[in-house]
């Protein structure tokens, strides 16, 4: 099965035996749960688009290990063109879903490991890369969705892993066996975790020798015994329980989710271990993954496309689309959104080949891109709310709109431009609400802030990557300073 | 390229990836197929008997790599106006 259809993907999830909790209860039917279902729909779209001729040029690739046509989400980038297509794919699916579609994180983990396992082998004569390629073939042949799990709870941030009062604050080895290892810990903020077939675990920070038991990377089926998922809450999440197509849901089709993933003494066979105590490679893996994942925020450009479209629509419904300040604000939203696009295309176009043969993005530009993502969606969202007006947050519910006694008053008084039905105006307002302070704001705003590393993490990388000495030399040369600094 | 001896032209359709298209590519192709149903037999790239390639791209960047189709005619549609011209040419 080189490429699954969306139905095959859904069916494959039904076969998993995940241990998922939400609102204090075990969820027996994860796929059909109304709160989780929209996020499954978003991942399913990554399968559906790969089968449509008008998207396959971006959505598919040729495997460098099997030569077969595969979904791009399981591909290892073989040139800068692949990296550019990855950025374009993010925009495409972000625009189609208006939310986080979750599957990029596994792709980024696979690509980072393709580099890191090769480099560990080169130094220590280990066999991680061979293992990884076998695993990659399995993922590609079965077209799996992988959760890339990096973020540990981290406990006291001032202390390294080995000094934590509770060692489980970082994923670590608790026992070594003949056939594998036993691990314990947790990964938090795991986007799309319960929609995944596999979990790929990576260390979360650079480590020193004393932290060697924490320097581990491995992959497991998502329903492995001992793995427990606790669903994260999202603002307005229970609106999804008010019936399919409900106006108050905003986005009636798609959504995202995050979960906390507990590893309670979980067995990992050796063939699934990709780093074992090589602490000096933990930081490299974190940086490779982070750079890829910062590029992945190309998706926010697509989500921005939807929010800009919604804003243009509400301007028309409100009858203000020709007001010069409204037009200027929408221009500003586009300017910010396309500036984001510049960053994700640039870091891909300026990519380079690593020793393993995998192409990596330009680290500086990927970090600049993500730094912009921590800011611009907030301004785009502010402008959307500005143009939408206060009704976005004072609008009564669909149940009131459907109520025979009072619905007529809503229909009468919430009509804007008479050319458009009141219901359309309500739907667009709810979509803007969804994206700027409802469930989708988790992905569009706070995830833009903290996902793939908080703003300061990018600033540290930017400081490391720029060559200030060369810039200083350029300035001194132009103004006639000839003396070299010692 | 004109049809020979009354036979329909059979171009294979190759789309760009559609990351940020400026028009509905699939809709434009659907209209072309409807208008030219008696003149052109649109096929897939896998079809061995195709007599040309219709490259349908969403913007002027035209990022599709069509270099492997050098031996047969290539028509590029970058906007709905190109589709109208293709229709006129085929008629």
Domains, chain A, with CATH or none? 295-476 (1.20.140.10)
| CB < 8 Å to A89, chain B | 17, 19
Distance between terminal CA atoms of chain A?
63
Q: How many angstroms separate the Cα of B7 from the Cα of each of A401, B29, B30, B40? A: 59, 21, 21, 9
Q: In this complex, which of A53, A88, A91 lies closest to B15 when CB atoms are compared?
A: A53
Checking if the pLDDT of B1 tops 80, the result is: no
Task: For chain B, give percent helix, strand, coil, nearest 5.
Answer: 25, 20, 55
pLDDT at A285: 98
pLDDT tier at A440 (50, 70, 90 boundaries)?
very high
pLDDT tier at A486 (50, 70, 90 boundaries)?
low
A79-96: pLDDT as tens digits: 999 999 999 999 999 999
A232-251: pLDDT as tens digits: 999 999 999 998 899 999 99
H or E stretch at A57: helix A56-59
A161-196: pLDDT as tens digits: 999 999 999 999 999 999 999 999 999 999 999 999
A101-115: pLDDT as tens digits: 999 999 999 999 999
Residue B23 domain-assigned?
yes
pLDDT tier at B2 (50, 70, 90 boundaries)?
very low
Residue B24 domain-assigned?
yes
**Average pLDDT in chain B:** 88
**Residues A415, A255: Cα–Cα separation, whole Å:** 28
Residue B5 domain-assigned?
no
pLDDT at B65: 87
| Percent of chain A surpassing pLDDT 90 | 98
pLDDT tier at A483 (50, 70, 90 boundaries)?
confident
Taking CB atoms and an 8 Å limit, are B19 and A54 in contact across chains? no
Q: A413 and A473 in contact (C-beta within 8 Å)?
A: no
**Average pLDDT in chain A:** 97
Domain extent for B61 = 11-90
**Residues A65, A73: Cα–Cα separation, whole Å:** 15
**Residues A339, A315: Cα–Cα separation, whole Å:** 23
Per-residue pLDDT, averaged over A377-384, amounts to 98
Sheet holding B74-77, edge to edge: B11-15, B52-56, B74-77
What values do phi and psi take at A9, rounded to 5?
Answer: -60, -50
| CB < 8 Å to A92, chain B | 17-20
Q: What is the DSSP letter of A290?
A: H
Q: What is the CATH number of the domain that holds B28?
A: 3.40.50
Q: Which of B11, B18, B61 to mutate to test the interface with A (most CBs of A within 10 A)?
A: B18
Checking if the pLDDT of B67 tops 90, the result is: no
Contacts of A315 (CB under 8 A, 6+ apart): A321, A323, A326, A330, A387
**Residues A58, A481: Cα–Cα separation, whole Å:** 51
Residue A100 is among the residues annotated as catalytic for this protein:
yes
**Residues A79, A114: Cα–Cα separation, whole Å:** 14
A118-134: pLDDT as tens digits: 999 999 999 999 999 99
B67 interface with A at CB cutoff 8 Å? no
Q: A256 and A442 in contact (C-beta within 8 Å)?
A: yes
Taking CB atoms and an 8 Å limit, are A95 and B15 in contact across chains? no
- Please give, rounded to a whole number of angstroms, the shortest distance from the CA of A340 to a CA of chain B: 14
Residue B3 domain-assigned?
no
DSSP for A104-167 reads HHHHHHHHHHHHHHHHHHHHH---HHHHHHHHHHHHHHHT--EEEE-----SSTTS-GGG-SSG
Number of domains in chain B: 1
Higher pLDDT, B91 or B26: B26
Per-residue pLDDT, averaged over A303-315, amounts to 98
What number of other Cβ atoms are within 10 A of residue B21's Cβ?
19
Per-residue pLDDT, averaged over A15-32, amounts to 98
């Amino acid at each position: 099965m080189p490429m699954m259809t969306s139905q095959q993907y859904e069916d494959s999830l039904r076969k998993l035996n995940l241990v998922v909790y939400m609102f204090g209860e075990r969820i027996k039917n994860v796929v059909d749960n109304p709160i989780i279902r929209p996020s499954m729909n978003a991942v399913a779209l990554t399968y559906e688009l790969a089968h449509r001729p008008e998207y396959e040029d971006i959505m598919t690739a040729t495997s460098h290990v099997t030569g077969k046509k595969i979904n791009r989400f399981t591909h290892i980038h073989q040139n800068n063109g692949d990296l550019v297509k990855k950025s374009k794919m993010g925009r495409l699916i972000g625009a189609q879903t208006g939310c986080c579609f979750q599957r990029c994180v596994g792709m980024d983990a696979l690509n980072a490991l393709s580099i890191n396992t090769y480099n560990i082998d080169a130094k220590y004569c280990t066999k991680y890369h061979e293992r990884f390629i076998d695993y990659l073939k399995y993922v590609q042949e079965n077209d799996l969705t992988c959760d890339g799990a990096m973020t540990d709870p981290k406990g006291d941030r001032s202390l390294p892993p080995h000094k934590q009062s509770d060692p489980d604050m970082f994923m670590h080895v608790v026992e070594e066996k003949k056939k594998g290892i036993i691990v314990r810990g947790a990964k938090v903020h795991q986007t799309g975790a319960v929609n995944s077939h596999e979990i790929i675990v990576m260390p979360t920070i650079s480590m020193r020798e004393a932290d060697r038991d924490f320097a581990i990377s491995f992959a497991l089926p998502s329903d492995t015994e001992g793995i427990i998922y606790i669903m994260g809450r999202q603002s307005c999440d229970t609106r999804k329980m008010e019936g399919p197509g409900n106006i108050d849901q905003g986005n009636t089709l798609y959504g995202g989710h995050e979960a906390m993933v507990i590893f309670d003494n979980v067995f990992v066979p050796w063939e699934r271990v990709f780093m074992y105590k090589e602490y000096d490679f933990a930081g490299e893996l974190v940086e490779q993954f982070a750079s890829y994942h910062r590029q992945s925020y190309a998706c926010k450009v697509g989500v921005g496309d939807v929010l800009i479209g919604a804003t243009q629509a509400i301007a028309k419904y409100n009858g203000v689309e020709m007001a010069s300040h409204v037009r200027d604000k929408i221009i500003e939203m586009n300017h910010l959104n396309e500036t984001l696009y510049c960053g994700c295309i640039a870091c891909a176009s300026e990519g380079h080949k690593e020793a393993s043969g995998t192409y990596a993005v330009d680290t500086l530009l990927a970090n600049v891109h993500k730094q912009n993502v921590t800011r611009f969606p907030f301004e785009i969202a502010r402008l959307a709310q500005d143009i939408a007006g206060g009704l976005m947050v004072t609008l009564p519910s669909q149940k009131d709109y459907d109520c025979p006694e009072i619905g007529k008053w809503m229909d009468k008084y919430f009509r804007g431009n008479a050319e458009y039905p009141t219901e359309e105006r309500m739907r667009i307002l709810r979509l803007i609400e969804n994206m700027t302070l409802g469930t989708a704001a988790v992905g569009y705003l706070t995830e833009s802030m903290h996902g793939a590393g908080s703003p300061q993490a990018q600033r540290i990388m930017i400081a490391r990557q720029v060559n200030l000495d060369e810039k200083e030399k350029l300035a001194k040369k132009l103004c006639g300073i000839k003396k070299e600094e010692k | 390229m004109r049809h020979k001896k009354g036979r329909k032209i059979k171009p294979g359709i190759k789309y760009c990836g559609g990351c940020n298209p400026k028009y509905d590519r699939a809709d434009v192709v659907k209209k072309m197929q409807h208008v030219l149903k008696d003149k052109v037999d649109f096929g897939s790239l896998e079809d061995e008997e195709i007599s040309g390639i219709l490259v349908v791209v969403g913007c002027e960047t035209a990022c599709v790599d069509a270099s492997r189709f050098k031996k047969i005619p290539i028509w590029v549609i970058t906007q709905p106006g190109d589709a109208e011209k293709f229709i006129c040419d085929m008629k």
